[in-house]
Protein backbone atom coordinates (compact mmCIF):
# COMPACT_ATOMS: atom_id res chain seq x y z
CA UNK A 1 0.00 0.00 0.00
CA UNK A 2 1.23 3.45 -0.77
CA UNK A 3 1.81 5.59 2.25
CA UNK A 4 0.92 9.27 1.88
CA UNK A 5 3.60 11.46 3.48
CA UNK A 6 2.38 14.79 2.15
CA UNK A 7 -1.24 15.80 1.64
CA UNK A 8 -2.10 19.29 0.46
CA UNK A 9 -5.70 20.49 0.54
CA UNK A 10 -7.11 23.67 -1.00
CA UNK A 11 -3.89 25.60 -0.76
CA UNK A 12 -3.93 29.32 -1.51
CA UNK A 13 -1.09 31.77 -1.42
CA UNK A 14 -1.62 35.43 -2.16
CA UNK A 15 1.27 37.88 -2.15
CA UNK A 16 0.68 41.60 -1.94
CA UNK A 17 2.58 43.64 -4.50
CA UNK A 18 1.99 47.06 -3.00
CA UNK A 19 -1.81 47.13 -2.85
CA UNK A 20 -2.24 44.61 -5.66
CA UNK A 21 -2.83 40.95 -4.67
CA UNK A 22 -0.94 38.29 -6.68
CA UNK A 23 -2.39 34.82 -6.36
CA UNK A 24 0.61 32.47 -6.60
CA UNK A 25 -1.28 29.30 -5.58
CA UNK A 26 -4.96 28.83 -6.21
CA UNK A 27 -6.97 26.15 -4.43
CA UNK A 28 -4.28 23.56 -5.08
CA UNK A 29 -4.62 20.00 -3.79
CA UNK A 30 -2.12 17.17 -4.22
CA UNK A 31 -0.55 14.26 -2.39
CA UNK A 32 2.86 12.61 -2.38
CA UNK A 33 3.55 9.01 -1.40
CA UNK A 34 6.48 7.84 0.67
CA UNK A 35 9.55 7.36 -1.52
CA UNK A 36 8.13 9.02 -4.65
CA UNK A 37 10.28 11.00 -7.09
CA UNK A 38 8.09 13.79 -8.45
CA UNK A 39 8.70 16.57 -10.96
CA UNK A 40 6.81 19.85 -10.98
CA UNK A 41 6.81 21.65 -14.32
CA UNK A 42 5.11 24.78 -15.54
CA UNK A 43 5.77 28.18 -17.08
CA UNK A 44 7.63 30.90 -15.24
CA UNK A 45 5.40 32.49 -12.62
CA UNK A 46 3.06 29.49 -12.37
CA UNK A 47 3.78 29.05 -8.64
CA UNK A 48 6.39 26.24 -8.64
CA UNK A 49 8.82 27.90 -6.23
CA UNK A 50 6.00 29.11 -3.99
CA UNK A 51 4.63 25.56 -3.78
CA UNK A 52 8.06 24.10 -2.97
CA UNK A 53 8.67 26.77 -0.33
CA UNK A 54 5.32 26.09 1.31
CA UNK A 55 6.04 22.34 1.35
CA UNK A 56 9.50 23.08 2.78
CA UNK A 57 8.03 25.27 5.55
CA UNK A 58 10.00 28.28 4.26
CA UNK A 59 6.84 30.14 3.30
CA UNK A 60 3.34 30.04 4.81
CA UNK A 61 0.18 29.62 2.78
CA UNK A 62 -2.63 32.17 3.02
CA UNK A 63 -4.99 29.29 3.68
CA UNK A 64 -5.34 25.56 3.15
CA UNK A 65 -3.76 22.51 4.74
CA UNK A 66 -0.25 21.09 4.38
CA UNK A 67 -0.18 17.74 6.16
CA UNK A 68 3.29 16.31 6.69
CA UNK A 69 2.90 12.80 8.08
CA UNK A 70 -0.62 13.84 9.04
CA UNK A 71 0.43 17.00 10.92
CA UNK A 72 -0.76 20.34 9.54
CA UNK A 73 2.24 22.66 9.27
CA UNK A 74 0.31 25.48 7.58
CA UNK A 75 -0.41 27.28 10.84
CA UNK A 76 2.50 26.05 12.91
CA UNK A 77 4.59 28.75 14.66
CA UNK A 78 8.10 29.46 13.39
CA UNK A 79 9.81 27.99 16.49
CA UNK A 80 8.40 24.57 15.52
CA UNK A 81 8.80 25.00 11.76
CA UNK A 82 12.56 25.40 11.91
CA UNK A 83 12.85 21.93 13.46
CA UNK A 84 10.75 20.44 10.65
CA UNK A 85 12.98 22.16 8.10
CA UNK A 86 16.11 20.96 9.84
CA UNK A 87 15.00 17.37 10.48
CA UNK A 88 12.71 16.52 7.56
CA UNK A 89 13.78 18.70 4.61
CA UNK A 90 16.86 18.82 2.43
CA UNK A 91 17.00 21.74 0.00
CA UNK A 92 18.79 21.89 -3.34
CA UNK A 93 18.81 25.14 -5.33
CA UNK A 94 19.59 26.15 -8.90
CA UNK A 95 22.55 28.25 -7.76
CA UNK A 96 23.94 25.60 -5.33
CA UNK A 97 24.13 28.16 -2.45
CA UNK A 98 27.35 26.78 -0.97
CA UNK A 99 29.30 28.97 1.44
CA UNK A 100 32.42 30.05 -0.50
CA UNK A 101 34.76 30.22 2.51
CA UNK A 102 34.01 26.66 3.63
CA UNK A 103 35.33 23.57 1.87
CA UNK A 104 33.04 20.82 0.53
CA UNK A 105 33.15 18.81 3.76
CA UNK A 106 32.49 21.84 5.97
CA UNK A 107 29.53 22.85 3.79
CA UNK A 108 28.04 19.37 4.26
CA UNK A 109 28.72 19.44 8.03
CA UNK A 110 26.98 22.78 8.57
CA UNK A 111 23.35 21.56 8.84
CA UNK A 112 24.46 18.80 11.26
CA UNK A 113 25.66 21.28 13.88
CA UNK A 114 22.38 21.47 15.80
CA UNK A 115 21.88 17.71 15.53
CA UNK A 116 25.20 15.87 15.96
CA UNK A 117 27.25 16.98 18.97
CA UNK A 118 30.58 15.38 18.13
CA UNK A 119 32.79 17.18 15.59
CA UNK A 120 34.45 13.93 14.54
CA UNK A 121 31.05 12.29 13.98
CA UNK A 122 30.00 15.19 11.74
CA UNK A 123 33.24 14.95 9.80
CA UNK A 124 32.85 11.20 9.31
CA UNK A 125 29.24 11.55 8.11
CA UNK A 126 30.13 14.41 5.74
CA UNK A 127 32.88 12.28 4.19
CA UNK A 128 30.48 9.35 3.75
CA UNK A 129 27.90 11.59 2.09
CA UNK A 130 30.49 13.11 -0.23
CA UNK A 131 31.56 9.58 -1.19
CA UNK A 132 27.91 8.71 -1.86
CA UNK A 133 27.62 11.57 -4.38
CA UNK A 134 30.92 10.63 -6.04
CA UNK A 135 33.21 13.26 -4.51
CA UNK A 136 35.75 11.21 -2.56
CA UNK A 137 39.08 13.03 -2.65
CA UNK A 138 37.41 16.43 -3.17
CA UNK A 139 36.42 16.94 0.49
CA UNK A 140 38.85 19.75 1.22
CA UNK A 141 38.17 21.75 -1.95
CA UNK A 142 36.40 25.08 -1.69
CA UNK A 143 33.44 25.61 -4.07
CA UNK A 144 35.45 27.82 -6.42
CA UNK A 145 37.81 24.90 -7.08
CA UNK A 146 34.94 22.58 -8.03
CA UNK A 147 33.03 22.43 -11.32
CA UNK A 148 29.36 23.43 -11.42
CA UNK A 149 28.32 19.76 -11.47
CA UNK A 150 30.56 19.01 -8.50
CA UNK A 151 29.19 21.98 -6.57
CA UNK A 152 25.67 20.67 -7.08
CA UNK A 153 26.82 17.26 -5.80
CA UNK A 154 28.11 18.94 -2.64
CA UNK A 155 24.75 20.68 -2.28
CA UNK A 156 22.97 17.33 -2.61
CA UNK A 157 25.26 15.79 0.03
CA UNK A 158 24.48 18.78 2.28
CA UNK A 159 20.74 18.26 1.68
CA UNK A 160 21.14 14.66 2.89
CA UNK A 161 23.08 15.69 6.03
CA UNK A 162 20.29 15.09 8.55
CA UNK A 163 18.81 12.14 6.68
CA UNK A 164 15.70 14.07 5.57
CA UNK A 165 12.37 12.54 4.62
CA UNK A 166 12.19 14.93 1.64
CA UNK A 167 14.58 16.44 -0.83
CA UNK A 168 13.11 19.61 -2.32
CA UNK A 169 15.02 20.70 -5.39
CA UNK A 170 14.23 23.95 -7.23
CA UNK A 171 15.60 23.78 -10.79
CA UNK A 172 18.64 21.75 -9.65
CA UNK A 173 19.91 21.36 -13.22
CA UNK A 174 19.14 24.93 -14.33
CA UNK A 175 22.78 26.08 -14.20
CA UNK A 176 24.37 22.92 -15.61
CA UNK A 177 25.46 21.79 -19.07
CA UNK A 178 23.70 18.79 -20.58
CA UNK A 179 26.26 16.22 -19.41
CA UNK A 180 26.18 17.42 -15.80
CA UNK A 181 22.41 17.71 -15.99
CA UNK A 182 22.17 14.01 -16.79
CA UNK A 183 24.59 13.12 -14.01
CA UNK A 184 22.67 15.08 -11.38
CA UNK A 185 19.34 13.57 -12.41
CA UNK A 186 20.86 10.09 -12.34
CA UNK A 187 22.27 10.82 -8.88
CA UNK A 188 18.87 11.96 -7.58
CA UNK A 189 17.20 8.89 -9.10
CA UNK A 190 19.84 6.65 -7.49
CA UNK A 191 19.37 8.27 -4.07
CA UNK A 192 15.63 7.84 -4.44
CA UNK A 193 16.06 4.13 -5.20
CA UNK A 194 18.78 3.34 -2.67
CA UNK A 195 17.92 5.67 0.25
CA UNK A 196 14.17 5.80 -0.31
CA UNK A 197 14.21 9.60 0.03
CA UNK A 198 11.07 11.27 -1.30
CA UNK A 199 12.13 13.84 -3.91
CA UNK A 200 10.12 16.76 -5.24
CA UNK A 201 11.94 18.51 -8.05
CA UNK A 202 10.90 21.67 -9.86
CA UNK A 203 12.27 21.70 -13.39
CA UNK A 204 11.91 23.36 -16.78
CA UNK A 205 13.73 20.49 -18.38
CA UNK A 206 11.40 17.88 -19.86
CA UNK A 207 14.17 15.29 -20.11
CA UNK A 208 14.89 15.69 -16.41
CA UNK A 209 11.16 15.50 -15.63
CA UNK A 210 10.84 12.32 -17.69
CA UNK A 211 13.34 10.66 -15.37
CA UNK A 212 11.04 11.01 -12.36
CA UNK A 213 8.05 8.80 -11.67
CA UNK A 214 5.24 11.37 -11.72
CA UNK A 215 5.16 14.75 -13.44
CA UNK A 216 2.76 17.49 -12.36
CA UNK A 217 2.10 20.47 -14.62
CA UNK A 218 1.31 23.75 -12.88
CA UNK A 219 -0.42 26.75 -14.43
CA UNK A 220 -1.68 29.85 -12.66
CA UNK A 221 -1.11 28.24 -9.26
CA UNK A 222 -3.07 25.09 -10.09
CA UNK A 223 -2.14 21.56 -11.14
CA UNK A 224 -3.66 21.18 -14.58
CA UNK A 225 -2.11 17.89 -15.75
CA UNK A 226 -0.36 14.84 -14.40
CA UNK A 227 1.67 12.16 -16.18
CA UNK A 228 3.75 9.10 -15.33
CA UNK A 229 7.50 9.35 -15.85
CA UNK A 230 10.10 6.70 -16.65
CA UNK A 231 11.47 6.28 -13.16
CA UNK A 232 8.25 4.45 -12.36
CA UNK A 233 9.01 1.89 -15.07
CA UNK A 234 12.47 1.46 -13.57
CA UNK A 235 11.06 1.04 -10.08
CA UNK A 236 8.62 -1.56 -11.38
CA UNK A 237 11.48 -3.20 -13.32
CA UNK A 238 9.52 -3.00 -16.59
CA UNK A 239 10.70 -1.54 -19.88
CA UNK A 240 8.39 1.40 -20.77
CA UNK A 241 8.70 0.50 -24.47
CA UNK A 242 8.15 -3.28 -24.60
CA UNK A 243 7.20 -4.25 -21.04
CA UNK A 244 10.13 -6.67 -20.66
CA UNK A 245 11.71 -7.19 -17.26
CA UNK A 246 14.59 -4.82 -16.62
CA UNK A 247 16.89 -4.00 -13.73
CA UNK A 248 16.43 -0.60 -12.09
CA UNK A 249 19.99 0.23 -13.14
CA UNK A 250 19.50 -0.60 -16.85
CA UNK A 251 19.76 2.32 -19.28
CA UNK A 252 19.03 0.17 -22.36
CA UNK A 253 16.35 -2.51 -22.44
CA UNK A 254 18.05 -5.93 -22.74
CA UNK A 255 15.13 -7.17 -24.91
CA UNK A 256 14.01 -4.38 -27.28
CA UNK A 257 17.38 -2.54 -27.02
CA UNK A 258 15.65 0.83 -26.82
CA UNK A 259 16.98 3.38 -24.32
CA UNK A 260 14.99 3.54 -21.11
CA UNK A 261 14.53 7.26 -21.34
CA UNK A 262 12.44 9.53 -23.45
CA UNK A 263 13.09 12.81 -25.15
CA UNK A 264 9.57 13.80 -26.07
CA UNK A 265 7.94 16.72 -24.28
CA UNK A 266 5.83 15.26 -21.44
CA UNK A 267 2.93 17.64 -22.10
CA UNK A 268 3.27 18.25 -25.84
CA UNK A 269 -0.34 17.41 -26.69
N1 LIG B 1 7.65 37.48 -2.52
C2 LIG B 1 6.77 37.75 -3.51
N3 LIG B 1 6.07 38.90 -3.53
C4 LIG B 1 5.18 39.15 -4.50
N5 LIG B 1 4.88 38.29 -5.50
C6 LIG B 1 5.55 37.13 -5.53
C7 LIG B 1 6.53 36.77 -4.54
N8 LIG B 1 7.04 35.54 -4.83
C9 LIG B 1 6.39 35.15 -5.95
N10 LIG B 1 5.52 36.07 -6.37
C11 LIG B 1 4.61 35.97 -7.54
O12 LIG B 1 3.89 34.77 -7.43
C13 LIG B 1 3.77 34.12 -8.69
C14 LIG B 1 4.40 32.73 -8.63
O15 LIG B 1 5.82 32.87 -8.45
P16 LIG B 1 6.81 31.63 -8.32
O17 LIG B 1 6.26 30.69 -7.32
O18 LIG B 1 8.16 32.18 -8.08
O19 LIG B 1 6.69 30.99 -9.79
P20 LIG B 1 7.67 30.00 -10.57
O21 LIG B 1 8.64 29.41 -9.60
O22 LIG B 1 6.75 29.01 -11.20
O23 LIG B 1 8.35 30.84 -11.62
C24 LIG B 1 4.41 35.05 -9.69
O25 LIG B 1 3.41 35.87 -10.24
C26 LIG B 1 5.36 35.86 -8.84
O27 LIG B 1 5.60 37.13 -9.41
MG1 LIG C 1 10.72 29.40 -9.53
* pLDDT tens profile 129-143: 999 999 999 999 999
Among 58, 95, 93, 94, smallest CA distance to 73 is for: 58
Ligand 1 proximity of 41 Cβ (cutoff 6 Å): no
Q: Evaluate whether residue 252 is within a structural domain.
A: no
Plot region of 69 (φ>0 → left; ψ -120 to 50 → alpha; else → beta): left
Closest CA to 8 of 37, 28, 24, 36: 28
Residue 113 lies in a domain: yes
Decide if 51 is inside a domain: yes
Question: Ligand 1 pocket, 43 CB below 6 A?
Answer: no
Is the full-model pTM beyond 0.85? yes
Q: Is the CB of 15 under 6 A from ligand 1?
A: yes
Q: How far apart are the first and last CA of the chain?
A: 32
How many distinct structural domains can be found in the chain?
A: 1
- Establish if 269 belongs to a structural domain: no
**Residue 25 alpha carbon, nearest atom of ligand 1:** 14
Q: Which ligand is nearest to the CA of 44?
A: 1
Q: Is residue 203 part of a domain?
A: yes
Choosing from 26, 47, 58 the residue with most ligand 1 atoms within 8 A of its CB, the one to mutate for a pocket test is 47
92 in any annotated domain: yes
Domain that holds residue 46: 34-60+77-223
pLDDT one-digit tens code per residue, 209-220: 999 999 999 999
- 15 belongs to a structural domain: no
Q: Please identify, by atom number, the ligand 1 atom nearest to the C-alpha of residue 53.
A: 17
Question: What's the CATH number where 82 sits?
Answer: 3.40.50.300
- By C-alpha distance, which of 172, 191, 163, 152 is closest to 49? 172
Mutate to test the pocket of ligand 1, among 11, 13, 14, 15 (most ligand atoms within 8 A of CB): 15
Cα(19) to centroid of ligand 1, in Å?
A: 16
For the chain, residues with pLDDT lower than 70 are 1, 261-265, 268-269
Is position 13 within any domain?
no
For 16-34, the pLDDT digits (tens) are 999 999 999 999 999 999 9
Amino acid sequence: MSNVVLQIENLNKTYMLGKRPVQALSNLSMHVNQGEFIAIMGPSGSGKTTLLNVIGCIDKPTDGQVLLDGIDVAKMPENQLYKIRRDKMGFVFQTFNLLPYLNARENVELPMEGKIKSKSERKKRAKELLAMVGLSGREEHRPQRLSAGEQQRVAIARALANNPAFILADEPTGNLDSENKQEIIKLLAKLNLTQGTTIIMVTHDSQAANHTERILLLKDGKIIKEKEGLHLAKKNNKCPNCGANIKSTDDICPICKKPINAIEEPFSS
